[in-house]
Amino acid sequence: MGLPVVAIVGRPNVGKSTIFNRLVGERIAIVEDKPGVTRDRLYGKGEWLNRYFHVIDTGGIEFGETDAILTQMRHQAELAIDEADVILMVTDGRAGVTDADQELARMLNRTGKPIVLIVNKIDNPDMRADIYDFYTLGLGDPFPVSGSHGLGLGDVLEEVVKHFPGGEEEERDDDVIRIAIIGRPNVGKSSLTNAILGEERVIVSDVAGTTRDAIDTPFERDGQHYILIDTAGMRKRGKVYETTEKYSVMRAMKAIEESDVVLVVLNGEEGIIEQDKKIAGYAHEAGRAVIIVVNKWDAVEKDDKTMLRFTELIREEFKYLDYAPILFVSAKTKQRIHTILPKVNQVAEAHSMRVSTSVLNDLITDATIMTPPPSDRGKRLKINYATQAAVKPPTFILFVNDPELMHFSYERYIENKIREAFVFEGTPIRIWTRKKT
């Protein structure tokens, strides 16, 4: 299961971005006292009493507006509502109930989703009487808060987590490889999905995924079971996602969380844009195994150096994914599609590989003899012991005399030595240093 999603909605300038920043604990959203500053959805991760969740901040919803930016903001907010498990509707206690609030409340009621009503800008106890008018919105008890001072948000979060779905973690079958296909619009995710499944596909069942209107498709090939987590929306419901310029990042993030291996799809015709790097970054940060798939390669004019040049460009633009293999394919002509699943098997195996403690410590000892650790102000780093703490991704703990002495470049050197000794293709490696106790 992916993390629950909380969408913050409301008309412009009611303080949504301030509340978003409070929930995620960082100043991600630009807070400015002008309506419409948050034009796109912003994403963050929040936590309350060890329950983690995604938070989407949206542009304000204005009804009856023809201004292109406001129309786009409303469209983005509607997408966020579509993704959400719980909706926080923010109103302005100083302004009172407006016609726009009433219209938005009616729209939210039609979603059938849990809605928590916030009355913001209640900055002192004398203003608490101002919240009673908000009962007229028909959304239950209004919660008085002050986003700027952080007051009242604990009560809001208590209410929010009550509405999170399930809570029971579904059993994960370790023998099944879960593959997410991610990328911006028009890179060919749907056609790649169909090409991988093929006409002779064995679909055990169609299980509706946790991401709305994406389908998790189980299938089997050469005795290996897979689940394809499609973020393109195999069951299309209208053109709403296609006409949205921005990729639905939340979908990609939820698919990544549920996957073992992520196929980051690029458009060979168009090359690499900033959005590609942003989307791939989520997979890397989540610690998933990654394969970079360059699609539409049949449509690229080529000479004998084209593939090499594109590979060099990918390595330059995606420096943090230097471990990820690159495949050049065409979903349309089925060119090299047969190479994808064998590579998925390979990186999935690396992602869950364990190294024995004795072999790991021999390797670290040899590495420190070949290139001694750095010293700082006469004090030299000493690695006493190493152990692998986790898989998916492989995570190693180095017990040292002083973690402060571990320089980034030496950590990178150790990682490279581990990669040389064991085939960790396609998976990130995490190294933590701890003080020996």
- Write down the pLDDT at residue 40: 44
The binding site consists of 10-17, 57-61, 120-123, 183-190, 230-234, 295-298
> Which regions of 237-364 does DSSP assign to beta strands (E)?
261-267, 289-295, 326-328
Which of 72-81, 162-171, 214-223 tops mean pLDDT? Answer: 214-223
- Write down the pLDDT at residue 29: 43
Please, are residues 91 and 136 in contact by the beta-carbon 8 Å criterion? Answer: no
Please, are residues 81 and 114 in contact by the beta-carbon 8 Å criterion? Answer: no
Handedness of CA 148, 150, 151, 154 (dihedral sign): positive
User: Residue with structure tokens 């006493």?
Assistant: 384
Exposed e or buried b per residue across 336-369, where buried means at least 16 C-beta atoms within 10 angstroms of its C-beta: ebeebbebbbbbbbbbbbebeeeebbebbeebbe
User: Which pLDDT tens digit goes with each residue over 406-418?
Assistant: 988 999 999 999 9
pTM: 0.67
Whether the ω angle into residue 393 lies within 30 degrees of 0, i.e. cis, is yes
pLDDT band at 175; cut points 50, 70, 90: confident
User: Which pLDDT tens digit goes with each residue over 181-237?
Assistant: 988 777 888 788 888 888 534 333 333 333 334 457 888 899 999 988 866 533 333
Question: Does position 93 have pLDDT exceeding 80, yes or no?
Answer: yes
Please, are residues 120 and 128 in contact by the beta-carbon 8 Å criterion? Answer: no
The binding site for GTP consists of 10-17, 57-61, 120-123, 183-190, 230-234, 295-298
Is residue 204 exposed (0-12), middle (13-18) or buried (19+ Cβ within 10 Å)?
Answer: exposed
Rounded distance, CA 226 to CA 421, Å?
A: 29
Please, are residues 329 and 294 in contact by the beta-carbon 8 Å criterion? Answer: yes
Domains of the chain: 5-162 (3.40.50.300), 179-350 (3.40.50.300), 357-435 (3.30.300.20)
| Residues in CB range of 351: below 8 A, 6 or more apart | 260, 261, 288, 289, 391, 392, 393, 394, 426, 427
pLDDT band at 30; cut points 50, 70, 90: very low
Rounded distance, CA 57 to CA 76, Å?
A: 10
Rounded distance, CA 36 to CA 54, Å?
A: 22
- Which value, to the nearest 10 degrees, does the dihedral of the CA atoms of residues 153, 158, 163, 168 take? 130
Q: How much is the mean pLDDT over the chain? A: 81
Measured N-to-C along each axis, helices 249-257 and 274-285 cross at an angle, to the nearest 10 degrees, of: 30
Span between the terminal Cα atoms of the chain, in Å: 37
Compute the average pLDDT of residues 336-346: 96
102-108 own/partner pairs: CB under 8 Å, 24+ apart: 102/136, 102/137, 103/63, 104/9, 104/10, 104/11, 104/61, 104/63, 105/137, 105/138, 105/139, 107/61, 108/9, 108/81, 108/139
Handedness of CA 363, 369, 375, 381 (dihedral sign): positive
Handedness of CA 233, 234, 240, 245 (dihedral sign): positive
